[in-house]
């Protein structure tokens, strides 16, 4: 009885303390909602970033929502158009090709970060795609620097050594493809005729885009686009590719071991490495080169950045979080590079230890060092605001190209479609 | 007489009556009339995203010069012209076979044929995509039967992709139409068939001269419904082609084009609204012609 009487005030006090503690946290706790795609890449990386920030800011928690990329874009566009902020997240991932489109067609929807973030530390081309009228929006994230991933074992069977893969032209690449099919029965690469990604890679490697510096259509008089279409046409008529219907099908062409090479952005590394039984069998080389003026072996495909919504209730926390982790945390960039193959665009991060390391999956090659060297050589182009439209026009003409229509006629048809769409 | 007329006019002034229907009228106004009027107003505007400006008939002029719109319109009309007749005839034949009481397992077949239209749109599209993949079950079956020597590029060739979409929508909606015919067939007096049989009318003639004429109102109904459905075709194409309407825009429909204009391309809500009014006009015209054609034969 005595004991209980003595204990009661203490219990009451403890209960009161915990209630008030809960009330305080409830008042101060902030949840930042983030929309992004790709569970193996962006989602996982954002969760890692959130966990790092929560360590130093226990009152901030993160809700990373995983959608398909098209769903993120559709939901964002619907939400922005409806003007109801409740439907939108605090932070959203936007692919670089679409950044200007959102910034220009929904003015005031995104929070400007210039003044807060030190943009001089980032790759300039990433900052350029998020600048409108001198204001910079968004936090630059990953680069889409491209590489040629190839199966050493298949190429060896075809009599090709890794050294032979280093300074390829596209014509040589196609010859090798024919040799590989002859000797191993495998196709050289997977190709989705509905995806103009390869055309974009080849075009940008020669420093051109669908649009010129002023954003005007650059189709009929574009030697890089012409050469890119010719190259894809040659790949198709040489039949060194396995046709794929859609993204997952395309991924399946190399995860299943059906093809000998993949030409795409560095962000595919995580997917390639997701097949542990293929460890040691892969190598990475720079992409083949066009035989025209201005051709390089470096290009870019995709890459995206984080944007904070102006309407967000947690705007200040969201900006601080991005600046703290993505803007400064060098160690974070080492971790996501090793775990996920994410080549960030914070230049200071490139001096980190992870970039020096040899990757056993790629037979001990220093692939990250290579990728960051190539990143510095990517020709910068103006993506404009109509890349999706131009891309659709290109895929619409790819079958005509394989049926023997002259490239100049194909370019005219693309130009007609692009001109009708951009207004 | 006078009294009755005053009564019917008086109904219009009955406040209680109006109060009863007011909530519904309000909701209809808010969720139907307002969007319709607003989208019509929007179709005369143009611009990027939220930066819309009044553009007069610019969007309608743009339709004529837009190769993608022409392509989407042609595709949609191709689906309509090829698929609707196939489906209606197939549904009619299936319904009259399954209406025969001597068929074994009638209920089972009826259910099996109706089942596709209650399955999830996405699930069946994904299933079709797998079945018609280059090394999918359809190609391997056809190859095993010796029908084809190399796999048919169902999803990567413009012609075959169109065929695949037609197969998919026929599979899904034939059973739905069949149910209407089965219900209508129950209402036809069996004695008419008995008399015909006694008179020695062959089965095919009974089908064309008794069944079809008596089902005419239902056939008209299903044709109009199918017309509307086909002109609004979206889900199948979206899911089979990952939202692109490819290859080479060969499967792009008007609805998918509206989606692209709104969500994938530089958002142009005005132009997208114009394209959606094209569908409205087409559905109205086609339905009118179908009613007109059906009425003519009544004479």
pLDDT single digits (tens) B236-280: 898 888 777 777 888 999 999 999 888 888 888 899 999 999 999
Q: What angle do CA A232, A236, B138 make, to 5 degrees?
A: 130
How many CB atoms are closer than 10 A to CB A396? 27
Average pLDDT, chain B: 87
Cβ-nearest to B155 among A80, A245, A247: A245
Domain presence at residue A178: yes
In chain A, which residues have their Cβ closer than 8 Å to the Cβ of B65?
420
**Same-domain pairing of A180 and A291:** yes
**Same-domain pairing of A156 and A287:** yes
pLDDT in the model for residue A404: 82
Domain presence at residue A339: yes
Closest Cα in chain A to B67: A417
Higher pLDDT, A98 or B294: A98
Q: Does pLDDT of B176 surpass 70?
A: yes
39-98 in chain B: CB under 8 A from chain A: 46, 48-51, 62, 65-68, 71
The rounded distance, in Å, linking the Cα atoms of B57 and B45 is: 9
As a whole number, mean pLDDT of residues B204-232 equals: 89
Cβ-nearest to A421 among B134, B249, B265: B265
pLDDT in the model for residue B65: 86
CB contact under 8 A, B242 and A246: yes
In chain A, which residues have their Cβ closer than 8 Å to the Cβ of B266?
101, 105, 385-386, 388-389, 422
Using pLDDT thresholds of 50, 70 and 90, give the confidence band for residue B174: very high
In chain B, which residues have their Cβ closer than 8 Å to the Cβ of A423?
46, 62
**Same-domain pairing of A138 and A164:** no
A and B: number of Cβ contacts within 8 A: 105
CB contact under 8 A, B246 and A249: no
3-state secondary structure A318-362: HHHHHHHHCCCCHHHHHHHHHHHCCCECEHHHHHCHHHHCCEHHH
Which alpha helices (DSSP H) does A57-191 contain, by range? 69-82, 96-105, 124-128, 152-157, 170-184
- Contact of B260 with chain A, judged by CB distance below 8 Å, is answered with yes
Closest Cα in chain B to A419: B66
**Same-domain pairing of A269 and A314:** no
Q: What angle in degrees, to the nearest 10, is found between the helix axes of B158-186 and B67-98?
A: 40
Give the DSSP H/E element, type plus range, for residue A37. strand A30-37
Indicate the domain borders of chain B: 8-55, 60-294
Using pLDDT thresholds of 50, 70 and 90, give the confidence band for residue B6: low
Q: Does pLDDT of B118 surpass 70?
A: yes
Q: Which of helix, strand or coil describes residue A285?
A: strand
CB contact under 8 A, A396 and B249: yes
CA-wise closest residue to A179 among A202, A163, A162, A156: A156
- Residue A191 gets the label, from left (phi > 0), alpha (psi -120 to 50) or beta, of beta
In chain A, which residues have their Cβ closer than 8 Å to the Cβ of B157?
399
Domain presence at residue A20: no
Q: What angle do CA A190, A192, A193 make, to 5 degrees?
A: 130
72-111 in chain A: CB under 8 A from chain B: 73-74, 77-78, 80-81, 101-102, 104-107
Domain presence at residue A216: yes
Confirm if A283 and A162 have CB atoms less than 8 A apart. yes
DSSP string, B151-211: ---TTTSHHHHHHHHHHHHHHHHHHHHHHHHHHHHHTS-HHHHHHHHHTT--HHHHIIIII
pLDDT, one tens digit for every residue, chain A (423 residues): 455 555 555 555 555 555 555 444 444 678 999 999 988 889 999 999 999 999 999 999 999 999 888 889 888 988 888 877 788 999 999 999 889 989 988 888 999 998 899 999 888 888 888 999 889 999 999 989 999 999 999 999 999 998 889 989 999 999 999 999 999 999 999 998 888 999 999 999 999 999 988 888 899 999 999 999 999 999 998 999 998 877 888 999 999 999 999 999 998 888 888 888 999 999 999 999 999 988 999 999 989 999 999 999 999 999 999 999 999 999 999 999 888 888 888 888 888 888 888 888 998 888 888 998 898 888 888 888 888 889 889 988 888 888 888 999 999 999 988 888 887
Closest Cα in chain A to B132: A245
| Residue A125 burial (10 A CB sphere; 0-12, 13-18, 19+) | buried
Q: How far is A264 from chain B (nearest CA, A)?
A: 20
> Buried b / exposed e across B149-162, counting CB within 10 Å, b at 16+?
eebbbbbbbbebbb
CB contact under 8 A, B266 and A101: yes
How many CB atoms are closer than 10 A to CB A68? 13
**Same-domain pairing of A224 and A319:** no
Cut 0.90: pTM above it = no
The rounded distance, in Å, linking the Cα atoms of A391 and A194 is: 9
**Same-domain pairing of A253 and A312:** no
In chain A, which residues have their Cβ closer than 8 Å to the Cβ of B269?
81
The DSSP secondary-structure symbol of B123 reads H
CA-wise closest residue to A345 among A138, A92, A127, A101: A127
The rounded distance, in Å, linking the Cα atoms of A75 and B190 is: 56
pLDDT in the model for residue A10: 58
Confirm if B291 and B220 have CB atoms less than 8 A apart. yes
- Contact of B146 with chain A, judged by CB distance below 8 Å, is answered with no
Q: Which domain holds residue A231?
A: 146-300+380-422
As a whole number, mean pLDDT of residues B193-198 equals: 89
Using pLDDT thresholds of 50, 70 and 90, give the confidence band for residue B1: very low
What is the CATH number assigned to the segment(s) B60-294?
A: 1.10.3720.10
- Contact of A70 with chain B, judged by CB distance below 8 Å, is answered with yes
- Residues in contact with B130: Cβ distance below 8 Å, sequence separation at least 6, in sequence order: B136, B137
CB contact under 8 A, B247 and A70: no
Closest Cα in chain A to B52: A105
Query: Which contacts (CB < 8 Å, 24+ apart) does range A118-121 have?
Result: A118/A327, A121/A327, A121/A346, A121/A347, A121/A348
Question: What are the percentages of helix, strand and coil residues in chain A, rounded to 5?
Answer: 55, 20, 30
Q: How far is B155 from chain A (nearest CA, A)?
A: 6
Q: Does pLDDT of B36 surpass 90?
A: yes
How many CB atoms are closer than 10 A to CB A277? 7
pLDDT in the model for residue B10: 65
Q: How far is A19 from chain B (nearest CA, A)?
A: 45
CB contact under 8 A, A194 and B244: yes
CB contact under 8 A, B48 and A105: yes
Cβ-nearest to B158 among A399, A416, A421: A399
**Which residue bears the tokens 């837009």?**
B66
Q: How far is B116 from chain A (nearest CA, A)?
A: 24
Sign of torsion, CA A276 A278 A280 A286? Answer: negative
Q: Which of helix, strand or coil describes residue A186?
A: coil
Domain presence at residue A181: yes
Domain presence at residue A366: no
**CATH label of the domain that carries residue A263:** 3.40.190.10
As a whole number, mean pLDDT of residues B205-217 equals: 88
pLDDT in the model for residue A141: 93
- Residues in contact with A272: Cβ distance below 8 Å, sequence separation at least 6, in sequence order: A149, A254, A255, A262, A278, A282, A361
Using pLDDT thresholds of 50, 70 and 90, give the confidence band for residue B49: confident
The DSSP secondary-structure symbol of A244 reads -
CB contact under 8 A, A386 and B66: no
Q: How far is A219 from chain B (nearest CA, A)?
A: 17
CB contact under 8 A, B156 and A243: yes
In chain B, which residues have their Cβ closer than 8 Å to the Cβ of A420?
62, 65-68
Sheet containing strand A282-285, edge to edge, reads A241-243, A187-191, A259-265, A146-151, A282-285
Q: How many domains does chain A have?
A: 2
Q: How far is B275 from chain A (nearest CA, A)?
A: 14
**Same-domain pairing of A408 and A331:** no
Q: Which of helix, strand or coil describes residue A363?
A: coil
Q: How far is A261 from chain B (nearest CA, A)?
A: 20
How many CB atoms are closer than 10 A to CB A315? 16
**Same-domain pairing of A185 and A223:** yes
Q: Which of helix, strand or coil describes residue B54?
A: strand
How many CB atoms are closer than 10 A to CB B35? 11
**Same-domain pairing of A318 and A275:** no
The rounded distance, in Å, linking the Cα atoms of A272 and B130 is: 23
Cβ-nearest to B247 among A78, A247, A399: A399
Sign of torsion, CA A268 A271 A273 A275? Answer: negative
Confirm if A37 and A72 have CB atoms less than 8 A apart. yes
Cβ-nearest to B50 among A81, A395, A396: A81
Domain presence at residue A371: no
| Residue A344 burial (10 A CB sphere; 0-12, 13-18, 19+) | buried
CB contact under 8 A, B133 and A247: no
In chain B, which residues have their Cβ closer than 8 Å to the Cβ of A395?
244, 246-249
Domain presence at residue A223: yes
Give the DSSP H/E element, type plus range, for residue A306. strand A304-308
pLDDT in the model for residue A14: 53
Percent of chain B at pLDDT above 90? Answer: 39
Cβ-nearest to B265 among A388, A399, A400: A388
- Contact of A386 with chain B, judged by CB distance below 8 Å, is answered with yes
**Same-domain pairing of A43 and A69:** yes
The DSSP secondary-structure symbol of A137 reads B
**Same-domain pairing of A205 and A287:** yes
**Same-domain pairing of A156 and A295:** yes
């Amino acid at each position: 009885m005595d004991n209980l009487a003595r204990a009661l005030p203490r219990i009451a006090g403890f209960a009161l303390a915990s209630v008030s503690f809960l009330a305080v946290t409830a008042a101060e706790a902030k949840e930042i909602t983030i929309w992004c795609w790709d569970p193996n890449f962006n989602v996982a990386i954002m969760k890692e970033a959130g966990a790092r920030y929560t360590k130093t800011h226990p009152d901030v928690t993160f809700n990373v929502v995983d959608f398909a990329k098209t769903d993120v874009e559709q939901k964002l566009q619907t939400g922005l158009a409806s003007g109801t902020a409740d439907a939108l997240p605090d932070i959203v991932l936007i692919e670089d090709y679409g950044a200007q489109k959102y910034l220009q067609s929904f003015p005031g929807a995104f929070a400007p970060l210039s003044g807060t973030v030190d943009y001089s530390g980032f790759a300039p081309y990433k900052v350029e795609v998020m600048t409108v009228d001198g204001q910079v929006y968004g936090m630059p994230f990953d680069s889409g620097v491209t590489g040629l991933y190839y199966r050493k074992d298949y190429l060896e069977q075809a009599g090709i050594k890794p050294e032979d893969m280093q300074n390829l032209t596209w014509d040589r690449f196609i010859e090798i493809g024919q040799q590989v099919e002859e000797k191993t029965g495998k196709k050289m690469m997977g190709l989705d005729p509905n995806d103009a990604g390869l055309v974009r890679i080849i075009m940008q490697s020669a420093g051109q885009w669908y649009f010129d510096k002023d954003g005007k259509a650059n189709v009929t008089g574009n030697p890089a686009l012409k050469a890119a279409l010719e190259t894809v046409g040659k790949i198709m008529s040489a039949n060194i590719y396995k046709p794929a219907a859609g993204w997952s099908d395309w991924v399946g062409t190399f995860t299943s071991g059906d093809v000998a090479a993949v030409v795409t952005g560095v962000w595919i590394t995580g997917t390639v490495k997701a097949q542990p039984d293929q460890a040691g069998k892969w190598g990475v080389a720079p992409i083949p080169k066009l035989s025209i003026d201005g051709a390089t072996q470096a290009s870019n495909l995709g890459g995206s950045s984080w944007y904070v919504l102006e309407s967000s209730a947690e705007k200040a926390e969201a900006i601080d979080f991005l600046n703290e982790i993505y803007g400064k945390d060098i160690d974070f960039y080492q971790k996501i590079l090793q775990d996920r193959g994410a080549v960030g665009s914070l230049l200071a991060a490139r001096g980190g230890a992870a970039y020096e390391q040899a990757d056993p999956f790629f037979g001990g090659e220093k692939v990250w060092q290579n990728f960051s060297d190539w990143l510095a050589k990517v020709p910068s182009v103006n993506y404009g605001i109509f890349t999706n439209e131009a891309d659709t026009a290109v895929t619409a003409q790819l079958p005509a190209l394989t049926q023997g229509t002259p490239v100049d006629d194909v370019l005219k048809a693309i130009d007609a479609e692009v001109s009708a769409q951009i207004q | 007489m006078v009294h009755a007329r005053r009564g019917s006019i008086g109904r219009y002034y009955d406040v209680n009556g109006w109060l009863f229907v007011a909530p519904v009228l309000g909701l209809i106004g808010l969720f139907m009339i307002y969007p319709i009027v607003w989208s019509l107003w929007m179709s005369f505007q143009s611009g990027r995203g939220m930066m819309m400006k009044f553009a007069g008939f610019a969007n309608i002029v743009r339709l004529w010069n837009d190769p993608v719109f022409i392509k989407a319109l042609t595709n949609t009309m191709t689906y309509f012209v090829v698929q609707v007749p196939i489906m209606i005839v197939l549904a009619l034949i299936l319904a009259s076979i399954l209406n025969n009481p001597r068929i074994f397992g009638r209920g089972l077949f009826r259910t099996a044929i109706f089942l596709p239209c209650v399955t999830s749109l996405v699930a069946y599209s994904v299933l079709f995509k797998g079945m018609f993949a280059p090394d999918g079950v359809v190609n391997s079956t056809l190859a095993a039967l010796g029908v084809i020597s190399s796999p048919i590029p169902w999803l990567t060739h413009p012609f075959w992709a169109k065929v695949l979409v037609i197969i998919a929508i026929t599979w899904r909606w034939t059973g739905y139409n069949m149910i209407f015919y089965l219900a209508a067939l129950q209402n036809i007096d069996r004695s008419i068939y008995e008399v015909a049989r006694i008179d020695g009318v062959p089965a095919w003639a009974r089908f064309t001269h008794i069944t079809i004429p008596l089902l005419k109102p239902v056939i008209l109904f299903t044709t109009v419904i199918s017309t509307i459905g086909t002109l609004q075709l979206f889900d199948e194409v979206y899911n089979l082609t990952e939202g692109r309407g490819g290859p080479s825009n060969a499967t792009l429909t008007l609805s998918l084009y509206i989606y692209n204009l709104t969500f994938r391309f530089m958002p142009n809500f005005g132009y997208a609204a114009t394209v959606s009014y094209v569908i409205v006009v087409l559905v109205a015209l086609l339905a009118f012609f179908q009613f007109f054609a059906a009425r003519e034969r009544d004479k």
